[in-house]
Amino acid sequence: MLPYFPFGNHFNDKIGTVLLTDTEPLVDVDSHYRAEVLLKRQQLTELPDYYALAQPGHEVAQWEVVELVLHHLARFWPDSFSLQQSGDVWQWENRLLDETATFTFDDSSTLPMMPLDWVGRQIQEDLLVLTGSDATLVAGQLCFGNDWSLTEKMGLPFWDIHAPITPIVEPMMRAAQKLMERLPVGRPVWRLNWSIKTTDQLDMTSRHSVDLSQRLAKKLPFFSPEAIGEQLYIRIERQILSRLPRSQAVLFSVHTYQNRLDHELEQRPDAAQRLLNVLTTAPSALLDYKSITPFLPPLVNYLNRRVPTPAS
């Protein structure tokens, strides 16, 4: 079952941010940890300059991300991770992967790759660093992106990253931009984003867009109210914004969760009704934006069949 299920009584067009409390981890470690981290490392080995990029001059922000992530891992999962510090010399142990590392904090020459890329290989999240009043993307490790890539967006301000912005999402984008402008140090916020996909492929960066579109076209004739629950996947992104104290940059971290639609409905009794509530009240432009429209009729039919009948 998905740890988050952002579907309620109707479609909500608000950005929906919540303060991340001191008792909530910045990064998550779940049952998919090993498989997803190893998948990230495979992608980074095959195409390192596609999945991890940084502009020069932002090493301080990268090291702040290292500090933030490692401390959270060691604090919330002490049986799996440990961090020892002796001055600037840090010793890291990842028991889940049976690895250790020793490096000098703030000295990139003591790591085998740029700091953001190194720490990103310890976690399931994608990591993005944005700076300045226009929230320009200056560094990132993006392995599980949804229809975009670092090579397209590096060096662009927030508004241009999301261009072309359709009218249906423009209010949410403006709210997100204002949020990043005002975000204080020490008060990270998080939100959930949702989509429904025809594959559980985690890497949906733009290099796969043509292939994914072709595969969808081939699958569409075979979507039926009887079988579509086995053919669709609910994809949830837990997105967190954190202001970094030294650089004043913003860390945007994303953890992607997935579950097959029929499995989620079996594990969550009210899932069918909640999904129906949102899909039937969401503007058609939003469903187009999320690429749900092509299979919406059989999906709604399937969900209607799965809504529990009230006891008489």
Q: Any idea which residues carry the catalytic annotation?
A: 191
Six-digit token pair at 254? 């994303």
What are the φ and ψ backbone dihedral angles of 256, each rounded to 5 degrees?
Answer: -100, 130
Phi, psi of 101 (to 5 degrees): -150, 140
Q: Are 232 and 307 in contact (CB under 8 A)?
A: no
CA distance 92 to 100: 5
Q: Residue 86: CB partners within 8 Å, gap ≥ 6? A: none
Closest by Cα among 242, 307, 258 to 279:
307
Question: Residue type for 251, please?
Answer: L
Selection from 66, 187, 65 nearest residue 131 by Cα: 65
3-state secondary structure of 161: helix
Q: Is the peptide bond before 283 cis (omega within 30 degrees of 0)?
A: no
Which residues neighbour 67 within 8 Å (Cβ) at sequence distance 6 or greater? 105
Residue 102 backbone dihedrals phi, psi, to 5 degrees: -125, 130
Instruction: Fill in the amino acid letter for 180.
Output: M
Task: State the maximum Cα–Cα separation within the chain, in Å, rounded to a whole number.
Answer: 70
Give SS3 for 158: helix
Cβ pair 175, 3 in contact under 8 A = no
